[in-house]
């Protein structure tokens, strides 16, 4: 599968460059080791403070802070000092995995797997003859904090927003072990992909990580 070869090359290169979220690397390796499926852009979940020039202007927005773990109040407070122009939001987002399946039956199986793992926003769609499954959860938080460098909330509200955002992130990340277990079961059904192990060998992945 040419597309999977390209996706694996991209993943292994990003891993080598330290551009893959550490706490989902093993899960991404597991998923990509399964015959007939592979991942594209995925995230382990994050919390941070975002500055948007205008509502919906995502390409021009910038993160004042973004972490894939719980964020402290002190980190949030310090990051707000960098605000300059636009709307300021605290955002908490759950893990998300984009998984491509080679046929409709595998896409349906992935959809069922995501839902069974507690990722209730899991959907799939056809894009350019590819079956793309988005394994996604419900724990999203967007809390407005200010505009144009001016913070319009007090310390009590900011502490509360950070606490809630952290709780939502922790809750959604808590489903990752169940997701991993379900993918291990799926691998028993579909089998291992030799292409994965071939490319993992070329990139010498086993020097850094234990292969699934």
What's the pLDDT tens digit per position in 81-135? 999 999 999 999 999 999 999 999 999 999 999 999 999 999 989 887 889 999 9
Determine phi and psi for 39, rounding to 5 degrees. -100, 155
pLDDT tens-place string over residues 6-60: 999 999 999 999 999 999 999 999 999 999 999 999 999 999 999 998 887 777 8
List the one residue out of 30, 15, 3, 7 whose CA is nearest residue 203: 15
Question: Which residue bears the tokens 């300021």?
Answer: 88
Q: What single-letter DSSP state applies at residue 68?
A: S
Pick the CATH number of 2-207 from 3.30.870.10, 3.40.50.970, 3.30.2130.10, 3.30.1960.10: 3.30.1960.10
List Cα–Cα distances, 143 to 51, 115, 117, 165, 201, in angstroms.
12, 27, 27, 9, 45
């Amino acid at each position: 599968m040419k597309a999977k070869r390209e996706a694996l090359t991209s993943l292994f290169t990003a891993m080598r460059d330290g551009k893959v979220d550490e706490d989902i690397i093993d899960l991404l390796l597991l998923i990509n080791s399964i015959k007939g499926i592979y991942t594209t852009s995925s995230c382990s979940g994050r919390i941070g403070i975002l500055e948007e020039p205008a509502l919906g202007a995502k390409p021009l927005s910038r993160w004042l802070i973004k972490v894939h773990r719980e964020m402290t109040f002190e980190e949030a407070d310090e990051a707000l000092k960098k605000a300059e122009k636009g709307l300021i939001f605290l955002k908490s987002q759950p893990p998300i995995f984009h998984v491509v399946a080679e046929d409709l039956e595998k896409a349906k199986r992935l959809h069922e797997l995501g839902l069974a793992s507690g990722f209730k926003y899991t959907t799939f769609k056809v894009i350019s003859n590819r079956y793309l499954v988005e394994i996604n959860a419900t724990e999203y938080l967007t809390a407005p904090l200010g505009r144009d460098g001016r913070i319009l909330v007090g310390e009590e509200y900011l502490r509360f927003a950070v606490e809630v955002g952290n709780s939502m992130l922790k809750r959604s990340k808590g489903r990752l072990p169940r997701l991993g277990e379900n993918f291990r079961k799926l691998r028993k059904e579909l089998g291992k992909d030799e292409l994965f192990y071939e490319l993992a060998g070329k990139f010498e992945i086993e020097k850094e990580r234990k292969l699934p």
